[in-house]
Amino acid sequence: MAQKTQSAERELTMSRAMVEAIATEMRESEEVFVMGEDIADYGGIFDSTQGLLDEFGHERIMDVPIAETGFIGAGVGAAQSGMRPIVELMFADFFGVCMDQIYNNMAKNTYMSGGAFSVPMVLMTAVGGTYNDAAQHSQTLYGTFAHLPGMKVVVPSTAYDAKGLMHNAIRDDDPVVFMFHKRLMGIGWMPAPDGPKTGVPEDPYTIPFGEASVQREGSDVTVVTLGLHVHRALDAAETLADDGIDAEVIDLRTLKPLDTDTVLESVRKTGRLVVVDEDYRSYGVTGEIVATVAEDALADLEAVERLALPDVPIPYSRPLEDEVIPGVEDIADAVRMVQG
Amino acid sequence: MYDDMVTARYYEERLQEEYLEGKQPAFDISAGPIPGELHLAAGHEASGAGVCRHLRDVDTVTAPHRPHHVAIAKGVDLKRMTAEIFGRQTGLGKGKGGHMHLFDPDVNFACSGIIAQGCPPAVGAALASKKRNQDSVAVAFLGEGAIDQGGFFESLNLASVQELPVVFVVEDNDWAISMPKSRVTDVEDGSRRADGFDLPGVRVDHDDAVAVYEAAGEAIGRARDGNGPTLIEVQVHRRMGHFMGDAQAYRPDEDKERATERDSIERIEADLREQGVEDHEIESIREKAHDRVNEAIEWAKDQPEPDPEEAYEDVFTNSPSGVEEIEPMLEATGGDE
């Protein structure tokens, strides 16, 4: 991957890369602050704010009561007042108690005010399973957040991308939902795969929204995915290469805006598409990508396979969770199927 | 009451051992015989035992993410609960729920892993009881970190205006994960929040199971007699981290020490001795509790893991027409090599 070679001098975990971007933006502007549960003294349950309290203090790294409607709505208000809040919803699963503030204020106020207000807010949230925490703490919910207009939705899969996308998110004048997968963060108690820890330049840089990343070039089949499953797809591609199948792996990186051009270009080349998502299958990312390709590149499309969570709440027990979350072998099998 | 408390304490000590077994030397949350998060309630026993002693099987209890002591006091099947925590097929939820999501309809016990979200369902159970002219009551347990949630306030209001037979039990251990109570609220006595809804609020200090028992008796009696809801706040102590693996770097050592000094179990033992209960009787209760716990854990560990195909079952009670049974995706397309 090109980005790794650009910055091989220093490797960071994804959480360190995110924190570095936040710290840089906070030094640049007094308007940037962070608000959420256990983000100060604890440093974020998933290390998303680790170390920030020491430099910035409780005034700017604000622990708040467990009352998401209140503090996420307050983030919207602060953003409309011209500040640049970064607000954490500890688990994406918890959106239910505060979705009105997210969907009806954060996402819509710019539109409803005819552009009179902007809401330059980042809503960070942890997603994903693979550690047996059951149905209320393991969902990915990309589709839920990307479904309603008005928010930009970002899903990094590497430290390099996390830093660049976070800089962009904080500088963006619109609300951005920044969905990080717990398994990618590089937390001590939840080992990450090798992939997300990458070289990261010390200087600030941005990665524009709406530009997917071709993580592996290939000629036989296009695998479109995001988050943790980028790394699983890359592992599957290595297995498939041994069988003589050359898979191209595309990391979407942002869901809103969605880089359909990169996907279409790849499908026009390979003619075969596999979409992999850790969110539910129905009405989700896989359906969206397949529909987009069907609309714009139907003639080039020879075979399609979708791999996502079947429409079941995420079960607790290890064999059950393993069954429903797509694994490396599942992805390899799906690719073999479209190969025919 | 004492037997519920020692059962809960020993149960959690044993769970802790089992949990850590596969997670050392390096702590990996997804390794070992008990996967996922584990929130232990050591130091909370007084509230579960003191309240549930007044309840019958038909009465409803909703518990939060730290549920074991409440479940034990409510009479949840200990073996099946343990099997659930180990993710086994014969667990309460067939391995689908895990330790934060324990459901036992035989004793009307339910859990939620989301803060304060057990309050509205408890109000609903109380509403059902009132509509059916029954005298069953509902009790919602929650932590003091949850009492800033809108769902809690809305539940108090609805319960009050409808005069529903529900009791809200706030377990105040002073810590919401890493946040001390003093930094999230200026209202030190959480039971005062009842004032805003014109319902009685009572606070019980010092992990005192007997005082909890008395306060709960009054509140539950009031609810059963059709006189509406009560809010009880119980001072407990969190002897452990928020979850297993929590290093508690945010927590001053003095506070950790204070939490272990104030022990509800030692306190009730002192009370028992004062009342003339002899040491051998106390020891006998302890032994019985230990045997029961060991038996449940051994039984649970012998239970089979669920078959992966079971992941697709129980999404609906009755699959609606037009909704096909979910099938494993790759099997449906024949990709299994």
Q: Which pLDDT band holds residue B334 (cuts at 50, 70, 90)?
A: very low
Q: Find chain B residues with C-beta within 8 A of A318's C-beta.
A: 35, 87, 305
Checking ipTM against 0.90, whether it exceeds it is no
Chain segment A31-85, per-residue pLDDT in tens:
999 999 999 999 999 999 999 999 999 999 999 999 999 999 999 999 998 999 9
Q: Which pLDDT band holds residue A116 (cuts at 50, 70, 90)?
A: confident
CB B1 within 8 A of CB B53: yes
Q: Do A188 and B114 touch (CB under 8 A)?
A: no
Q: Do B178 and A320 touch (CB under 8 A)?
A: no
> Among A7-11, A86-90, A152-156, B227-231, which stretch is predicted with the lowest mean pLDDT?
A7-11
**The tokens of B69 are what?**
């002591």
Q: Find chain B residues with C-beta within 8 A of A190's C-beta.
A: 28-30
Chain segment B53-70, per-residue pLDDT in tens:
999 999 999 999 999 999
- A139 touching B, CB under 8 A? no
How wide is the angle at C-alpha A320 spanned by C-alphas A141 and B301, nearest 5°? Answer: 135
Average pLDDT of the residues in A130-159: 96
- Residue whose structure tokens are 């070289």: A199
Name the residue facing A41 among B27, B36, B250 (closest C-beta): B250
> Looking at chain B, which residue has its C-alpha nearest residue A340?
B335
Q: Do A189 and B113 touch (CB under 8 A)?
A: no
Q: Find chain B residues with C-beta within 8 A of A330's C-beta.
A: 329-330
Predicted TM-score (pTM) of this structure:
0.88
Rounded to a whole number of angstroms, the distance from the CA of A60 to the nearest CA of chain B is 15
B163: Cα separation from own chain's centroid:
25
Q: Which residues contact A49 (CB under 8 A, 6 or more apart)?
A: A19, A22, A34, A36, A39, A40, A43, A61, A88
Instruction: Indicate if the pLDDT at residue B109 is higher than 50.
Output: yes
Rg over alpha carbons for chain B, rounded to the nearest Å, is 21
CB atoms within 10 A of CB B329: 20
CB B294 within 8 A of CB B82: no
Residue A229: active-site member: no
**The tokens of A321 are what?**
């969770």
> Looking at chain A, which residue has its C-alpha nearest residue B90?
A317
Rounded to a whole number of angstroms, the distance from the CA of A34 to the nearest CA of chain B is 16
Residues of A (12-41) whose Cβ lies below 8 Å from B:
37-38, 40-41
Q: Find chain A residues with C-beta within 8 A of B309's C-beta.
A: 323
CB B92 within 8 A of CB B80: yes
CB A208 within 8 A of CB A301: no
Q: Do A70 and B148 touch (CB under 8 A)?
A: yes
Q: Which of A137, A167, A181, A229 is catalytic?
A: A137
Rounded to a whole number of angstroms, the distance from the CA of A105 to the nearest CA of chain B is 17
CB A114 within 8 A of CB A293: no
Residue A13: exposure state from Cβ atoms within 10 A (0-12, 13-18, ≥19): buried
Name the residue facing B305 among A281, A310, A319 (closest C-beta): A319
**The tokens of B89 are what?**
């097929």
> How many CB pairs below 8 A link A and B?
173
Instruction: Indicate if the pLDDT at residue A4 is higher than 50.
Output: no
In CATH, the number for domain B2-333 is: 3.40.50.970
Q: Find chain B residues with C-beta within 8 A of A70's C-beta.
A: 148, 150
Rounded to a whole number of angstroms, the distance from the CA of A129 to the nearest CA of chain B is 10
Q: What is the 3-state secondary structure (H, E, C) of chain B?
A: CHHHHHHHHHHHHHHHHHHHHCCCCCCCCCCCCCCCCCCCCCCCHHHHHHHHCCCCCCCEEEECCCCHHHHHHHCCCHHHHHHHHCCCCCCCCCCCCCCCCCCEHHHCEEECCCCCCCHHHHHHHHHHHHHCCCCCCEEEEEEHHHCCCHHHHHHHHHHHHCCCCEEEEEEECCEECCEEHHHCCCCCCHHHHHHHHCCCEEEECCCCHHHHHHHHHHHHHHHHCCCCCEEEEEECCCCCCCCCCCCCCCCCHHHHHHHHHCCHHHHHHHHHHHCCCCHHHHHHHHHHHHHHHHHHHHHHHHCCCCCHHHHHCCCCCCCCCCCCCCCCHHHHHCCCC
Chain segment B152-176, per-residue pLDDT in tens:
999 999 999 999 999 999 999 999 9
- What letters, b where the CB count within 10 A reaches 16 and e where it falls short, cover B152-171? bbebbebbbeeebbbbbbbb
Instruction: Indicate if the pLDDT at residue B337 is higher than 50.
Output: no
Name the residue facing B306 among A137, A306, A320 (closest C-beta): A320
Listed residue (A278, A285, A215) closest to A250, CA to CA: A215
Domains of chain A: 11-199 (3.40.50.970), 213-339 (3.40.50.920)
Q: Do B178 and A41 touch (CB under 8 A)?
A: yes
CB B12 within 8 A of CB B271: no
- A188 touching B, CB under 8 A? yes
Rounded to a whole number of angstroms, the distance from the CA of B128 to the nearest CA of chain A is 24
Instruction: Indicate if the pLDDT at residue B333 is higher than 50.
Output: no
Return the C-alpha torsion angle A210, A301, A284, A317, nearest 10.
Answer: -110
Name the residue facing B100 among A64, A136, A315 (closest C-beta): A136
> Looking at chain B, which residue has its C-alpha nearest residue A40?
B178
Residue A113: what pLDDT? 87
Residue B329: what pLDDT? 52
> Looking at chain A, which residue has its C-alpha nearest residue B334?
A337
Rounded to a whole number of angstroms, the distance from the CA of B255 to the nearest CA of chain A is 15
